[in-house]
Amino acid sequence: MPLPLKHGLDLLHDPRLNKGTAFTGPERDALRLRGLLPPRVLTIEQQLDRIMENFHAQASDLERYIYMVALQDRNETLFYRAVLEHLPEMMPVIYTPTVGEACRRFGHIFRRPRGLYISTEDRGRMVKVLRNWPERDVRVIVVTDGERILGLGDLGAYGMGIPIGKLALYTACGGIHPAHCLPVMLDVGTENPELLRDPLYTGLLQHRVRGTDYDDFLEEFVTAVQTVFPAALIQFEDFATGHAIGLLARYREQVCAFNDDIQGTAAVTLAALLVSGRLSGRRLGEERPLFFGAGSSATGIADLITAALRQEGLGETEARGRTWLFDTQGLVVAGRAGLPAFKRAYAHEHAPIGSLEEAIRVVRPTALVGLSGQPQVFTESVLRSLAEVTHRPVVFALSNPTARAECTAEQAYAWTDGRAVFSSGSPFDPVELGGRRLVPSQTNNAYVFPGLGLGLTASGARRVTDSMLLAAARALVDQAEDALLRDGALFPPLSRIREVSLRIATAVARVAAAEGLATRPVPGDAVAWLTGAMYQPVYPRYLEPARSP
């Protein structure tokens, strides 16, 4: 490739161009690097050995997170090479559960800004702010207002760690070039009193903007994105339930946008439920899920299950009737006053029930899905009741981070006599029970959103539809391995994530083309086309080696 415009220290300080000690002798001469680096030239493999040695030497996962962020800030290629080659141990560090602790302490571990911070002080000039971003070909924007970070609540501007982490997975797992990714923090204030008292807080020291002012602020942002980055997919991330549902309803038919907490969680959970049927012997239409937690994620999953059942031929009423919700007031039933619209679709005719254990005995669910953010609410009596009403119960403890999980893998297996099909939002170690080794699955959105994003951006999709989400879920189901299923693992190992993402991207791009929503041609051999489009963490050669005479 041609020589970069930068040279010397400017080149070494550009994480996208920097190769560190891997610059060759001729490159050092041509790029004015001679003397600025130790004399020995190392390969990227040797550099990676040093990175992993230092990674393992850190005293805690938070320190490992800080170490990897520092690497990302100085050498992007080496960062993604390390993440991709060691994904099973890297993902819990650069994303959930460690990213939750990193967000809680974001202002205290802050080193170097990444992404764009747009605050209410920028109203009226968002186009100008977006144009401050140095990259012009932005294809994925992950944006949050920090109000509902994982299960930790309102972290305000500290929530920026989530878009940064999500986009790292778009690149590592989905092969979207890091130059095409933009994390955005929309700072509208915070209601967290600890942050408002924190002398190192990096956001606005004000209460959250609400109502029409908030809506107008988001409208200006979405409109500005269409002006500056018209080809970008907008992923809304970790917004509070009311805003999350409202934003998705408002923009999903206008721009290429989706909400990973609602739709990504829905796709991966639907896939997990479909795969679990291979162990339980139940078809999707025979499942009767009970959701503990009735927010946007739960109703998003319920909506996608309904869409899948309708594809299989069930009517709307019958499809919705399979699913029940349980919230802070108990079982969601039709007679309850004041139900928000997104819950009413799953409010069935029934007497009120305030106890989860009683609800299980009455509803007789085949699957119990936790999305409450309340740790240890799937007690022994709850899970034993579930095991009494269904022979092979599905137990999904999906709240993040790990400390917020409704139960542990060991509890789910032990309290159902090893019969549970278990999955969680954050990872758990394998469990030994009665001479069997059970491997808990992780129903992690990272199995879906990177491939979904690759398919959407490669095809230039104008919208994100339920058909695309269903195609993504079924493509993931097709990747399940029977040998691993026998031990309880619903999904392939993370080491196969790029292959999984490629299959999902292929399915999504084909749906975009079939629905007339693709703005770029999708070739017949979409797999090869997408494979060629995937970013590989390999150093560029700024000077071609001399040819032999």
Residue 307 CA to its chain's centroid (Å) = 22
262: which DSSP letter? I
Active site residue 447: no
The CA-atom distances, in angstroms, between 280 and each of 221, 326, 515 are 46, 23, 34
**Residue 83 burial (10 A CB sphere; 0-12, 13-18, 19+):** buried
Active site residue 95: yes
At CB < 8 A and 24+ separation, what contacts does 248-252 make?
251/222, 252/463, 252/464
The one catalytic residue in 19, 166, 251, 535 is 166
The one-letter amino acid code at 44 reads I
Nearest CA-CA partner of 449 in 96, 106, 119: 96
What percent helix, strand, coil does the chain show, rounded to 5? 50, 10, 40
Q: Residues with Cβ < 8 Å from 291, sequence gap 6 or more? A: 298, 301, 302, 323, 324, 325, 326, 369, 371
CB 323 within 8 A of CB 346: yes
Question: Is it true that the peptide bond before 97 is cis, omega within 30 degrees of 0?
Answer: yes
The one catalytic residue in 80, 95, 117, 413 is 95
Query: What is the C-alpha separation between 389 and 74, in angstroms, rounded?
Result: 55
Q: What DSSP assignment string belongs to 398-466?
A: --SSGGG-SS-HHHHHHTTTT--EEEESS----EEETTEEE--EE--GGGTHHHHHHHHHHHT-S---H
Tell me how many degrees the CA angle 279-281-283 measures, rounded to the nearest 5.
Answer: 115
Query: What is the C-alpha separation between 383 and 368, in angstroms, rounded?
Result: 9
488: tokens are 């309880």
Which residue is it, tokens 């080149």?
A: 11
Nearest CA-CA partner of 290 in 388, 367, 391: 367
CB 150 within 8 A of CB 401: yes
Nearest CA-CA partner of 440 in 477, 470, 402, 479: 402
Catalytic residues: 95, 166
